[in-house]
Every structure is written in C-alpha cells, then in structure tokens.
Chains A and B, each alone.
Chain A
Amino acid sequence: MVCIRKATVDDLLAMQACNLFCLPENYQMKYYFYHILSWPQLLYVAEDYNGKIVGYVLAKMEEESSECHGHITSLAVLRTHRKLGLATKLMTAAQNAMEQVYGAEYVSLHVRKSNRAAFNLYTETLGYKIHDVEAKYYADGEDAYDMRKQLKGKKHQHHHHHHHHHHHHHHHGGGCCSGEAKVEGKAGEPEAKAE
C-alpha cells in the first residue's frame, strides 16, 4: 500500500507540504535542507501508490551533548493514511539508522501532553519512556513530555546479517556527533506528533 523509503532532496517540498497540512508545528524549507544535508540517513518518507508523500520522519543527531543520541524532530502521517502502521515503520527506520550509522545510545523526542494517540504509540508500540516534563514547551503554552528510548543492546534485532560488527571497533565518544557549526532553523521548537 505504502512505500517506506529513505527521503531524497526531491521529497523535501512534499514533506513540508505534508507537515503544513497536518501538524501545528511547522518549519521553513531551510530547516529541512539542514536535516538532510547533515544526516541524510535519518529522513524517511511514506509514499502511497499514487506517488504522493503521505508521511515522513525528520530526525537528527544531537551534537552538543556528551552522550551521542538521536532526536526525532518531526513525525507526521496524513489522517487519511492512519491504521497502516506507517508511523511505527517510519520511526523504526530512523531509529535503526541512528544506531547503525551514528552509534546513537538513545533517541529522544517531545510530545504534547494532550496528544494521547501519539503518546500511546511512543510508549506502547515503540518503547519510549517519559524522561522529563518540559513546562510550556509549545508556543501555545502546553507542556511536553521529554521521552527517550534506549537503543544500544537491541541493535541486532533488525540487522542481523552481514554486519562484520563494525560498531565494536569504533567508539562514539562524541564521535560522529562532533561539534559542527549549525545552520539555524528559524522554525522554533521542533516536535513530534503521530496520527
């Protein structure tokens, strides 16, 4: 029904359109460029049978903190395409890439306290836990749950083949997450939301 694949630069305009159509937190194109030109492995799209982008995940690596970890900037699935497990598939793909390419220890995200559907997806299906509550995180004054999911240790579930165990001979003490000048997205605080 829906193809899950890595996003290319050509998908970015459609991703932005998808975001603007269904989420309240929006970003200018430059922020999408910033993501794909920094971590091209961490953007995935859901493309329907007519070639339309009906969902995406936009993720990044946190470069400043000492513990290398990924962060979900934004996750969206069009209302018309719910009940297909797309959010789960998109999230899993991004999480795998964070772990495999960047050796992320964990992945974090923010979710509105009131967004029960998304909260359930993160806790029940994807194994996230509440790490903290950020008061008045959103522009409208709503609080956010700061959620985390530990990645290390589960890594061979999805990629058990052909790995030569590369992660073993390189350690990510800030490794790939080394501090690089950052292009500022003017978009305000990122957030994640599921159907």
Chain B
Amino acid sequence: MGTSLPSREGNLFKLIVKSYETKQYKKGLKAADSILKKFPNHGETLSMKGLTLNCLDRKPEAYELVRRGLKNDLKSHVCWHVYGLLYRSDREYREAIKCYRNALRIDPDNIEILRDLSLLQAQMRDLDGFVETRQRLLTLKPNHRMNWIGFAVAHHLNSNGSKATEILEAYEGTLDDDHPPDNERCEHGEMLLYKISLLEESGLLERALEELHKKESKIVDKLAYKEQEVSLLTKLGFLEEGEKEYRLLLSMNPDNYRYYEGLQRCLGLFSEKGHYSSDEIGQLEELYESLAQQYNKSSAVKRIPLDFLEGEKFQKAVESYIRPLLTKGVPSLFSDLSPLYDHPGKADILEHVVLGLELSLKTSGGYPGSLDKEPPSTLMWALFYLAQHYDRRDQQDIALAKIDEAIVHTPTAIDLYSVKSRILKHAGDFLAAAAMADEARCMDLADRYINSECVKRMLQADQVTLAEKTAVLFTKDGEQHNNLYDMQCMWYELASGESYLRQGDLGRALKKFLAVEKHYADIVEDQFDFHSYCLRKMTLRTYVEMLKFQDRLHSHTYFRKAAFGAVRCYIKLYDSPSKPSAEEDDEMSKLPPSQRKKLRQKQKKAEARAKKEAEIKTEESQASNASKSVKRHVKPVDPDPHGEKLLQVEDPLLEATKYLKLLQEYSPDFLETHVLSFEVHMRKQKRLCALKAVRNLLRLNADHPDTHRCLIKFFHKVGSLPAAVTTAEKIIWAAIEEERLTYGQLREKSLLEANASFFETHKDSLMHRAAAAEMLFVLESNKKDEAVKLIEESINEPLSIKGLLGPARKWKLIDCIAVHSVLEKIFDDQDAALRWKLRCAEYFPYSTYFGGKKCSAITKLAHHQTEETSENAGTVNPHATEFSTNGNLEKSEGSKDLAGQLHSSLVLS
C-alpha cells in the first residue's frame, strides 16, 4: 500500500489508513490532502480520502474520489478494496463482491480482503463462495482459531454437517491438553456444544452423547449441557435416563412447560393433540399429583391437568384452581383458562363453577362450603372473570352487565376499564371502546401499557390524530416528534396504516406499511456485523439459529400484514388513481399523449435537479455541524411525511408485485396471499398467474367463499374473452382448458350450475351464501334481485349453549359488515343495504357500523369523549360520522371501507 510514494508520503499514507481504522477522520483527511498536494493523482490516496469522506456522510464526493482513484490506479488492490467497502457501506453487496474479486485477482492472498469477502458471502448466502473463501483463509493462516471455526461454520451452512464436525475435531487436535486457558473456557465450551449439536443434526446421536459426556468438564454452561443431554437421551430411546434428567431439570425450573412435556414423553404419556385414554388420564393424574407435592409453588403442575381432565374431575380441579387465584386477584386468570374454551363442554363447566362462586360470595361473603370470609375484592375478580367469559361466548350484553357491576363495586380498578373497552370493541362500538380505554389511561398516566392499549383502540376507531397525540406522551425524543419509527414500533405502524386504508388515505397508509417493510430490511441488515463477531465470541449455536431466523424473517406476522396492506393500497390506487395535483393533471389531460410524455420527462428532470440541490444542502449543514464537532447525528427531514409521493408511482401493480413475491415465498399458506395475487394478476391480464392463484386457493381451502369467488370470476372472465389468435395465446388457452378439467366442481357443469351447487352445499353459511349470490350477479347481471334474495333469506340461527342466559346467534359482526358492503358496493342496491343494516342493528345493538340502538353514537354513552371524537373527526376525516335525519348513524365512504378491507373480494377491472 502506498508503495509508489516516497517515504514521507508513504508514512502519511499509513497514517490515513490508521486514522480510518480508529475513526479519526479529520486527521486522515489532513494527511490525505498533504499527499495530494504533491501527488494530486495518486490513486490510492484519492481512494482513501473518498472512503474517509464517506464516513463523514459526504457520499457524492466519496464516490467521485474513489472512482477517480481507481481510474488512476486500476492495478491497485487497495483501490478495488476501497471501492468494495464503499459499496458495502451502501448495502450494495453484489457490487461490493465484484470489487473484492477484482482486488483479489491482483492480490490473491490478501487476508483482509478475503475476510471482507467472506462476510459478504455469508450475508448474501453465497454458500459455495463462502466455503471457498474460508478455506483459503484457513490455508493462509492455520494458526488462527477463527479461521478453523469459520471454515467449519461455512460447511455447516452449506449443508455439510459432517465435514464441519471433522474440521472442528481437526482444530481440537491442534490444541494442547490443558486447553483452554481460564479466559477462554466459555468460548471453548460453546464450541464443544456447537460441535455436539452438529453431530446431533447429522443423526450421529451416540457419538454426540459420548462426546458430550467425555467433554463434560470443559462445558461451562451446565444448563445447556443438561438440555443437550436429555434431548439426546430421549432421541436414543433411553427413556428412563431421560425421565431422570427431566425431573432434575424440573427441580431447577419447575415453571418450564417444555420439561413437563419432555417428562410425559419419556413416560409414554404425551399426545400432541391432547387425546388420552381414560387409563392414560389416570396415570397422568397420578404423575401430576406427585409433582404437585414436590413443586407446590409451581402453577404449572396445577394448570396442566386442566387440559386432560374431563367431566366431574375437571370441575373439581378447575374450581380449586380458580379459588385461590380469585382471592389473590390474578388479572390474567381468564386468559390463562381461555384455551379450555376450545375443549368441548369445558366452557359450560367453567360458567357453572364461576357463577356458583359468584352467588356464594354475594350471599355468604365466602366460597361455597367454606366458613372463611373472602375479602371484598374476590367478588370483583369473579365478576371480572365472568365478564370476559361472556364476552368470549359472544354474549356482550351479559358481559357488559357483569363488568359494570364490577366497576360499581370497585371504581378504582383500572383493569376493569380495560376489559370493558375490549368488550365494547368486540360488540362493535369502537368509539365507546376508545373512550373507555382513555378513561383507563387517565387513571395511571405513568403506565405505558394502558397508554398503548388506548392508542390501539383509538386507531381501531379511526381516530388517528388523537392516537398519535396520545402515543407521543411516551415517545417524545428530544426535538423529534416521536421515536416510534426509530424504535421500530410496528404494531403502531400497522394499526395506523390499516386505519388510513379504511379511511381511503392511501398515501399515509402506504407510508406506514412501507415503514414496517423497511424495518424488516433493516433487520436483515442487522446480521452483517455478527458474521465476524460471533466467530470471535464463539456463540455459534445461536449464530446459526440467527441465520436461520433471518432466512424466514419475511414469514413473520407483522411483515405479512404490512405486505397485505401495501398490496391492497396499490390495487386501490390502480383502480382509482388519485389526482396528485388537480390543475396540473387537468393541464396534462388536455395535451396529446406525445406531448404529455415530454412534459413528464421535463418534470422528472426538474425534480431530480431539486433533489440534488436538497442533497447538497443537507450535506453542507451536516458538514458545518461536523466542524462544530457536534456529535449528535442530524436526521434528514422526511421529504414526504404524508406519503403523497408514494401515490405517484408509475405502475402501482408493479409495486404490488414486489410484495406479492415475498408473500408467495414466505406466506404461501395464507388464503389472502393468493386472493391478492389473483386480484393483481387479473388486473395485469396475466391469466396464467391468476390461475396459479386459484390453484393455490383450492389447495388451501376449496370450500372457502373467496376461493369460490376467484374460481368463478376467473373462468367467467376467460370465457368472455375473444378467441385466441396468436400461438402464444393458444398455448395459454389450452393450458387453462386442461387445468379446468381437473377441477371437480366445474366438471360437466356450467359456471352457473357450479355456483348453484356451491350454494346448495353451503346454504347454512352466511358468507358462502353471500359469495354465491355475488357470483350469480357476476355471471348474470340481470339476476340481481334473485341474488339479493339469496342473501336476505339467510337465517341467523340461535346458538344452543347449555346454561344460556341470552341467546347468542351464529353470525359474526365482521361477516355481517362484509355482506353489507357486498350489497352496497357490488350490487349497488341501496334499499337492500339499508334493510340489511336495520336487520343487523337488531343483532348487534352495540355496533356503530349498523347504528344499533345501544351504540355510543346513538345513546351518547361516552359523553365526555364525544367532544374529543368530534374534534378529531374534524381534523382527520370530516365525514367520519354524520347523523342522518332519523337519528341513525350514517357512515361515510371512509368507514365503509372497513368492510371493503375485511372482505377480500375486490371488484375486477
């Protein structure tokens, strides 16, 4: 490096490199400038100066200098390396890899460049390349521990576990007998555990166990040792030893449910689905009775039997489980027991038991059969439980009565208001739910949990501005408005994106959804530093776990929801392109297409110019900040805070496709993925892709209403197209015909007949009836009245539950809203929509959507909140709520979109 320079400048060059490494950038710049004074064209100095400027956030200059440096010294590996580093800093890994490869062509044994290359290969999962590079590093420097480990990990990642073990054993062979020294014990122990997990992964269980036992004294992490041991023992079928180990682990942590599961497995008493014979139940009972004596403080030993016990035994056990927890006032009791509501019969028993306790507490002040008096709070907690119980059983009337009783009993208990808010939400009164959550929030302003809960409810009620104001109480960060984005607060971004989407504000909605997408991109990026860090730290098991986590990162719920949201936005944008600025568009539309194009190009150039100017400005301000040695990083101002620019995409469907691809790859088992894929590809006239979506829908759930919709729409659309002309079209046509033959539901049937038979099969289900009605209308638009009748003749059967107080019915609020939207938007039958609304208002008296007689907008229950709501409505969506003359709540366009979103069917272009 810097070899072509005289010794004074040579030393200066070394100083630049050193300053760069120690982050003393100013010093480095000074040294670079003094070389350049004498040798203004010295390539490596130019490059290094560029790299240094890059660290000072002077990007354009940096690129210019680095490129000039390279031009002046194409044969320098330093220049290529620096160019690679520059790309790397901008996350352009593919370009960076190319640069490194060029550098290595000049200097094939350069350790630093090889190491940098290996990091990029790990990041990009270029696993063959990774193995190759790590091999060269080991060959060049076999005395470095890290090179052995890196080579082994590379083989492991490249699916060659046995080779990886071999390498680790060879490495162990190079060590002295008294290895490790005291300060490397943890690392060495981790390496051994990694090796053993590799053996286990390769199916070499005996060897793994043998090795584990042999190295016991060298493995520092004793818990990991035990957990590894028991996993091997059970896999090898040494169940008695396994049982012993699990009992030992339980004595260390009797709250780890996985140990109980393991113990049951060793005893042959485990069923994934919880199905046990009465004999097995007896044995399990015995097991847990003895465990309960050993671990009397563990709640697990009392809770687990509730899963397998039945009937009277269950009733007895659950009652003695519940009593002390009500006395103690454990707020999570209901959520703890809620999985039992999926077991047949247990919900009825729970209802019976808790009602019994309630009655006894009210009449005698104690539990049945007990002479002791309970504290007054016990009754409150019993009512608290019952409220959630009835809410769960869709009897919100009783739930509200119970929670109100509890609130009268103890008006200061915040949890009661939180639960009341949740019940109101389930009942469909989002405004009252938000108001109630706000009441809870005001009772303890220092608790972020109830603040967050309140923000969530406000967003559900589409009070976005108010929600943000509330959230900011905890997220102010210096002068910044809030740090929700910086801290990757994704639940908030999703909830507000969904609210904007409901209100039809696509720009803001997209802004939020894409923010979530950006967080995921950043998380992918986060792994970069750990490729080298973990090899040094030797936390190899966790490192590999992290890489695997990263490989399926995009299957995570938040990402999926954000991608669904973004695709919906783009579809809506395509269907009804917004007018970015009315006059301009007007002007544009008057022009002939050729001139329009020219004008657009002109505008684009102007925009680019403005952007460049803005960049230079921020640069200048940053540079001046740096000179004042202000360390605080100045955040560039968001040039598009409301997502208006996001709406100006050339081709919304192309944008949608980006996210669809990720959904198809990482969320292929979600119906919505393929419904959206169908909608996008039908709009793009990509028939084979749309057909693929239909095929996937059939695979996932052939009976689903949305599957039916897509199937019928597809073949209806295809059938209405003119006959194929070109060869390509004919091939597509033939493929579609062939596929059609494989669909049983369409065999020897017209679409109309297929639709009728779908209706017949599912006529007891509202949503299926609605889908069939919709398709009837799609197929024959003159049969609208008949189709509407199919919906209106649906019957909302009462659900028969034992011990019922008020009749719960079958239909869900969310479905009824979706049906309303079908009537209103697809059938465009306002009379039918109104009839539907009045009918549903009876079923859902709390629903603000249907204007039920008990909803807050009608009764003004949430009186002190209405001011805020209307104020909010004024700022966010002036038409959010308006009263029609008869006093019924009419929803504006924005609110109706709620239904559009719930209901996945979108009108085809």
Contact = CB atoms under 8 A, between A and B. Distances in A.
Given A40-B539, A41-B223, A83-B330, A33 B300 contact: no
B488 A28 contact: yes
B255 A38 contact: no
Contacts of A178: 183-184
Contacts of A16: 488
Nearest to B519: A29
Interface string B526-563: 11011001101101011101100100000010100000
A50 B224 contact: no
A91 interface: no
A47 B449 CA distance: 18
A170 interface: yes
Interface string A20-43: 111110111110010011101100
Contact of A24 (B253, B328, B448): B448
B625 interface: no
Given A16-B488, A80-B331, A101-B186, A10 B255 contact: no
B441 to A, nearest CB: 12
A47 B300 CA distance: 12
Interface residues of A, number: 68
B220 A166 contact: yes
Contact of A1 (B221, B303, B530, B549): B303
Q: Is the interface of B mostly helix, strand, loop or mixed?
A: helix
A49 B307 CA distance: 11
B449 to A, nearest CB: 4
B224 A176 contact: no
B252 A158 contact: yes
Nearest to B257: A3
Contacts of A166: 217, 220, 222
Interface stretch (B2-10, B335-343, B647-655): B335-343
A50 B336 CA distance: 8
A151 interface: no
Nearest to B337: A49
Contacts of A23: 448
A40 B540 CA distance: 10
Given A3-B258, A81-B332, A166-B217, A40 B183 contact: no
A171 B252 contact: no
A12 B184 CA distance: 27
Contact of B546 (A1, A37, A174, A180): A37
A56 B185 CA distance: 27
B256 A3 contact: yes
A22 B452 contact: yes
A156 to B, nearest CB: 13
A187 B522 CA distance: 15
Interface in B464-482: 474, 477-478
Contacts of B606: none
A175 B183 contact: yes
A68 to B, nearest CB: 11
Interface residues of B, number: 72
A97 B227 CA distance: 14
Nearest to B328: A83
A164 interface: yes
Nearest to A163: B222
Residue among A10, A41, A81 having the largest count of chain B Cβ atoms under 10 Å: A41
A120 to B, nearest CB: 15
B723 interface: no
B486 interface: yes
B530 A33 contact: yes
B218 to A, nearest CB: 10
Given A33-B526, A79-B447, A178-B183, A50 B335 contact: yes
Interface in A123-147: 139
Contacts of B24: none
Contacts of B450: 79
B483 interface: yes
B214 to A, nearest CB: 14
A21 B51 CA distance: 40
B614 interface: no
Contacts of A33: 526-527, 530, 546
Residue among A30, A47, A161, A163 having the largest count of chain B Cβ atoms under 10 Å: A30
Given A5-B256, A89-B255, A161-B248, A22 B300 contact: no
Interface in B692-748: none
B487 A100 contact: no
B185 A38 contact: no
A22 B491 CA distance: 13
A186 to B, nearest CB: 8
Nearest to A28: B488
Contact of B332 (A22, A41, A80): A80
A164 B222 CA distance: 10
Nearest to B559: A13
Given A33-B526, A79-B447, A102 B186 contact: yes
A154 B183 CA distance: 23
Contacts of B255: 2-4, 89
B183 A174 contact: yes
Contact of A28 (B251, B331, B487): B487
Contacts of A161: 248, 251
A40 B216 CA distance: 19
A54 B335 CA distance: 11
B549 A41 contact: no
Contact of A26 (B184, B257, B489, B522): B489
A83 B329 contact: yes
B328 A9 contact: no
A101 B478 CA distance: 39
A93 interface: yes
Interface string A168-190: 00111111101011010001000
Residue among A50, A84, A162 having the largest count of chain B Cβ atoms under 10 Å: A84
Contacts of A10: 545, 549
Contact of A37 (B221, B338, B519, B537): B537
A121 interface: no
Interface in B862-906: none
Interface in B231-255: 248, 251-253, 255
Given A26-B489, A49-B339, A4 B256 contact: yes
Contact of B539 (A22, A27, A37, A181): A37
Contacts of A82: 331
Contact of A30 (B220, B492, B526): B526
Given A9-B542, A20-B489, A80-B418, 12 more contacts: A3-B257, A3-B258, A20-B487, A22-B449, A23-B448, A28-B522, A33-B527, A36-B546, A38-B539, A50-B335, A80-B332, A81-B332
The 7 residue pairs across chains A and B that have the minimum distance between CB atoms: A176-B186, A79-B449, A3-B257, A26-B487, A4-B255, A22-B449, A30-B526
Interface of A: 1-6, 8-10, 12-13, 16-17, 20-24, 26-30, 33, 36-38, 40-41, 47-50, 54, 78-84, 89, 93, 97, 100-102, 114, 139, 158-159, 161-164, 166, 170-176, 178, 180-181, 183, 187
15 contacts: A1-B300, A5-B257, A26-B487, A30-B523, A37-B539, A40-B541, A40-B542, A49-B339, A80-B449, A83-B331, A97-B223, A114-B446, A164-B217, A171-B182, A175-B182
